[in-house]
Structure 1
């Protein structure tokens, strides 16, 4: 799966990593619903960090369609809440 982190670029992630990422996604959703700013920042940073660690960066000139788009690291709780919807970012 191709994942884009807005403002950073694209990474290719193996499907086998999505169970781990989905746990962080579930935590993030709960923190967004509760308005937990500190928890949101901690979990959102952890999610982006794991995507970067597990993913293989694509070249800047690659034109692959992104199957998953994550907000930029500096996104606020409200901005992420608007993008997140009721289902989260990570499929599954």
Structure 2
């Protein structure tokens, strides 16, 4: 499974992209399960914009979800953090 996260916004407004291919990784099954949960969970609806918040576009094997800080579920936040950690 290929998981890609694109993060935009924040104070500096820089874009950051990271991808993880779960095949052949020891933590691959755990990342795949986390991705499946993150895609089906509905994040709380943002009522007002949050200045300098991050926005995320998450691609998982052709499925795409757009997320906005601080309105992520626990699974969505864990997935974003895990994938972006791969970018260093």
TM-score (norm 2): 0.39
> Counting helix residues as a fraction of each chain, which structure ranks higher?
1
RCO higher in structure (CA 8 A, sep ≥6): 1
> Counting strand residues as a fraction of each chain, which structure ranks higher?
2
